[in-house]
Structure 1
């Protein structure tokens, strides 16, 4: 039952995330192409310079939590049941999305986003494995 729901919701959810990445949350087109490649340091600097904890939670935790559902992609594409294959595929896709943000100037190519998003996928994969083991009748 959960797998059927997931198969229905993952495409609109993906489109919603793409909207957020390129148009939502007050996005605008930057004058220059921007890139942040120093892992973790840019996030620590953001946290240090941020006044509001709400911004920190939305940006940092959001980059993890919003990508947890992609850890379940093995339910739609059986080849992605393997963690290594899932992560390679996801990293390839998210790097392309980040590059599109860079080239369209509708965002910043941030290595931290790739790291946090991938961590979210890994957490989702772990959650999927747990649900399949613990609640097998509910999942199918």
Structure 2
């Protein structure tokens, strides 16, 4: 499965720690990330990750485009809800695309734990090819 990893600056350490705690689960999947987050996770974990641009430079949009092309299966996006983000419209668009294309999205450690456990069990393979999407009308 293709899994995206994204974190706002104040949440990068949390995501890195989460990936380290669940390294074996993530190692079984093809990983993608926004630039800085991806590089930091690779350095800490040794996992292979395809890095897009940094979020503010278009990385969020690149991952969003992957979702729209139905090329992304799950997203771990540790968001900082207490800090204004200069690229908030891109963040909102990414979250919206996850909803439109029924892509599981974890935005905090609680939902991330449920999502990674589901990935480990293979729960999401059952969704492939069966995800409903909104029709363009």
TM-score in terms of structure 2 length: 0.28
More helix by share: 1
Whose relative contact order is higher, 1 or 2, with alpha carbons under 8 Å and at least 6 apart? 1
TM-score in terms of structure 1 length: 0.28
More strand by share: 2
